[in-house]
Structure 1
Amino acid sequence: MKRGLYFIACSGMCAAQFAHAQSSVTLYGLLDAGLQYTNNVGKGGSLFRQTTGNVNGSRFGLRGKEDLGGGLGAIFVLEGGFNINNGKSAQDGRLFGRQAFVGLNSTKYGTVTLGRQYDALTDTLIPLSATSINFGDTAFAHPFDNDDMIHSYRLSNTVKYTSLVYSGLKFEAQYAFSNSTDFAVNRAYSAGLAYSKGPLNAGIAYFQLNGTKNTTINSPGALDVNETQANNTAGFVLGADVQRIAGAGVSYEIGKATLGFVYTHTQFQGSTSFGSQNGTVRFDNYELNGKYQVLPQLTFGAEYVFTNGHVTKTSTFGSSPKWNQIGLQTVYSLSKRTDVYLEGVYQHVSGHNFSAFIYNSGGASSTGNQIVGMMGMRARF
């Protein structure tokens, strides 16, 4: 009898330990702080400042999972961004402004999540770009971040489905509700397809955001006005009745080098940006990028972007601006969690009344040229 009770007690303890092992909650984060120099700011002055998030936005988060049995699991993510220089919350003061979602993960059918999330463009196309989290990210944004390639949009009220990987292919679709009686205003949807096999990675994606230009500050929809302004540099907002982004990209690993090409087309329909007078503003972005691991702890990276713009119904601006942008990066790892970096970005724009404006530079240039130099440190936990 005693042996039986002892066996039952031990079995219960083992079962409890096993169940605990199938569930976990992880605290994680990233800190990015540095110094930045920008020339030609405002009326031609130079700006030297301490910055946060030169490459990656500083953040902290909780990630959890629970095994529900039968190949089904519950997952959640709560992630907030902040300014490391002053401790203030980013994403318009939200506690978990970067991500906040819960969902179910199935080994047979894929994953469904609900909450505040990234769109399919972020998950399927950005990893192929120099704007990916593991490359230049924020510093290498295309002009005005017109195509959201630095994933500055986080969509509220979102349901997202991500498939399993079939022969290297993975599909994703997302829909963000307006949460109002005007169903079509301030909603968003996207879809993407990614392929990965050996050294080859490829992806295509489409994203559409409806009606944010005329939403109120307290809009309950996919993206509110305050957040749109917070996501753009120095208050410059590319507002529109409808924003559409379509893109495709590919990357290939050759030994210690990775080469990539990304194309995106962005259309702002019903926009007043650049004096378009409620017309259309379009951007075609062509990006070449490459990384090379010189040593296990030392990596070089480079990006070249040509952006061809078109503005309809313009008044004070030219109708066909063109941007050329070059970005260089050096990263030296002090450990698996900590590294230091140097970055430089140069931009030249041509077109009547257009000024160079590197994203997160601190201000538009007084001419058609601008240079930004950055150095900093990142720590992960």
Structure 2
Amino acid sequence: MKSTLIENGKSLALVASLSAVGMTMAFGYAGPAAAQSSVTLFGVADEGLTFSTNAGGKRQYALTSGNEGQSRWGLKGTEDLGGGLSTIFTIEGGFNGSNGTSTQGGALFGRQAFVGLSSNNLGTLTLGRQYAITYEYVGIFTAGGSWALTGAGYGAHPADLDDMDGSQRINNAVKYKSPTFMGFNFGAMYSFGGVAGDVSRNSYYSAAVSYANGPVSLGAAYSMARNPNYSVFGTNASASTTASNMSGPVISGLAGAGSLETAGVGGSYQIGPATLAAAYTHSSFNSLGATAVTGINSAALGKTAVFNIGEVSVRYLLTPALMLGAAYEYTAAGGLAGRDGARYNQVDLGVDYYFSKRTDVYAMAVYQMASGYDSTGKKAVAVIAYSTPSTSNRQLISVVGVRHRF
């Protein structure tokens, strides 16, 4: 089928091609500056068998989607405006391959939806729903943010409270990322809260810097989220504007916090086929009770709940197609209302084999052990991120699956 568009008296041919590498749609016209534009269809289909030793007190077996990489589809494009300046956009939606439903609360493009300008000399400015800069600059050094069941989030830090897994998207966001100069790059983001008459409510801002030179990569980031129950944890289409959006006992008792501050640093060093990585984050839920949340009555009004998380990991390429990974994560929560804070010890293990650049099979396992008292004031139970909480202080989740990129 042929389609012809008329623009400025000249014809624009629309060409669609399907190949083994994927599907790409290209749009182009012969204008005064011979500018070129392109649109690419991309995605991931990921399915696996998941087993949990304790999901609400019972063993659980399930067919699950988006484990190693969340199942998704999207369009991304660019138009060359000349002089090193381009227009860019991405619209991307998640889906559950097991039942065909949309993820991210049912939003059509819940993963990302932004447009912007990119300059070789000045950097990139984008506007819309986007990943947080903290994940892009520090989360890449964590197992959960790079290889350990990143799609499902199981390999993330407890409740992914520091967003190192990149599970949270920021709405109404303006993001800037600089060009790389002598290995250095920096970025900043601001999100408008959207509350009339109160510019700070539900707002979010962050800044980050990275450095890469040879085998060494480093990153640091800071973020401040006002009313985090709504500005960070409540950004999906189905999120509540009055009740708690912070699920799980790790942080659910902190939904009334007035703000959430997170600072993180990370780095990696490559030695031949091995990559060693480490990351540390400090998160504080400030002014508990300052945000009105239905059903949440903090036992420590005005106080601050602190989480310190450290992680070390290693990835090893046994062959160019076979990756082995291991990580250890330790989370220490500050105590509230006279109780000792929770402690979470977690181990991530994984094997990933690539049949090709687009298709791989994987086997991953996450084990967690908890102690102390959680944010609800009860004895802490193991609760691997985005899973059904255990009824004991231990939990193991394992997944075997296949992933295909297109």
TM-score, normalised via structure 2 length: 0.82
Contact 1:75 1:104 in 2 (8 A): yes
Counterpart for residue 64 of structure 2: 51
> Aligned runs of 1:25-64 on 2, under 5 Å?
25-42=39-56, 44-64=57-77
Q: Where in structure 1 are there 5+ consecutive unaligned residues?
A: 1-11
Asked if 2 retains the 8 angstrom alpha-carbon contact of 1:60 and 1:81, the reply is yes
CA 66–130 in structure 1, closer or farther in 2 if over 3 Å, else same: same
Q: CA deviation at 1:21?
A: 7.3
Contact 1:130–1:140 under 8 Å retained in 2: yes
- Offset at 1:376? 0.8
Q: Does 1:289 align with 2:313?
A: yes
The answer to whether the Cα contact below 8 Å between 2:105 and 2:238 also exists between their aligned partners in 1 is: no
| TM-score of the two chains, using structure 1 as the length reference | 0.87
Backbone CA RMSD of aligned residues: 3.0
Cα distance, 1:129 vs. partner? Answer: 1.4
**Aligned counterpart for 1:103 among listed residues 107, 116, 138:** 116
**How big is the shift at 1:201?**
0.3
* One-letter amino acid matched to 1:26: T
Match of 2:208 in 1: 192
1:364 Cα offset (Å)? 1.0
Query: Which residue number corresponds to residue 244 of structure 1?
Result: 261
How far does residue 275 in structure 1 lie from its aligned partner after superposition?
5.9
Q: Secondary structure at the match of 1:92?
A: helix
Whole-angstrom distance in 2 between the partners of 1:336 and 1:229: 41
Aligned ranges for residues 153-172 of structure 1 at < 5 Å?
Answer: 153-172=168-187
- SS of 2:265's equivalent in the other structure is strand
**In the alignment, structure 1 residue 209 sits paired with structure 2 residue 225:** yes
Identity of aligned residues (%): 40
CA distance in 2, matches of 1:135, 1:290: 11
**SS of residue matched to 2:30:** helix
Q: Kindly indicate whether residue 193 of structure 2 is the aligned counterpart of residue 178 of structure 1.
A: yes
Q: Which residue in the other structure is 2:18 paired with?
A: none
SS at match of 1:311: coil
Q: What is the aligned partner in structure 1 of residue 360 from structure 2? A: 339
| Alpha-carbon spacing, 1:103–1:162, altered in 2? closer, same or farther (3 Å) | same
Q: 2:79 aligns with which of 66, 77, 88?
A: 66
Counterpart of 1:141, as a letter, is A
Q: How does 1:1-381 map to 2 (within 5 A)?
A: 16=30, 22-42=36-56, 44-137=57-150, 138-180=153-195, 181-213=197-229, 225=240, 232=247, 237=252, 238-239=254-255, 240-271=257-288, 276-278=299-301, 279-313=303-337, 318-352=339-373, 353-361=379-387, 363-381=388-406
SS of aligned partner of 1:127: helix
Q: From the superposition, tell whether residues 330 and 17 of structure 1 become closer, same or farther in structure 2 (CA, over 3 Å).
A: farther
Q: Distance in 1 between matches of 2:305 and 2:129?
A: 28
Residues in 1 aligned to 2:330 and 2:250: alpha-carbon distance in whole angstroms:
24
Q: Is the 8 A contact 2:70 2:94 kept in 1?
A: yes
Cα 1:284–1:276 change in 2 (3 A) is: farther
**Which amino acid in 2 is paired with 1:350?**
S
Change in CA separation of 1:174 and 1:222 when aligned onto 2, cut-off 3 Å: farther
Q: Deviations over 1:194-226 (max 9, x none)?
A: 1111110000001111014478x9x99999547
- Using a 3 Å threshold, how does the CA distance of structure 1 residues 214 and 230 change in structure 2: closer, same or farther? closer
Q: Which amino acid aligns with 1:144?
A: A
Instruction: Say if 1:80 and 1:95, in contact at 8 Å, map to a contact too.
Output: yes
Distance change in 2, residues 1:308/1:210 (3 Å): same
SS at match of 1:83: coil
CA contact (8 A) 1:265 1:282 kept: yes
Moved more, 190-199 or 81-90: 81-90
Q: Distance in 2 between matches of 1:270 and 1:223?
A: 26
Q: Tell me how far 1:136 sits from its aligned partner.
A: 4.0
Would you say how many aligned residue pairs link Structure 1 and Structure 2? 363
* Distance apart, 1:281 and its partner CA: 1.9
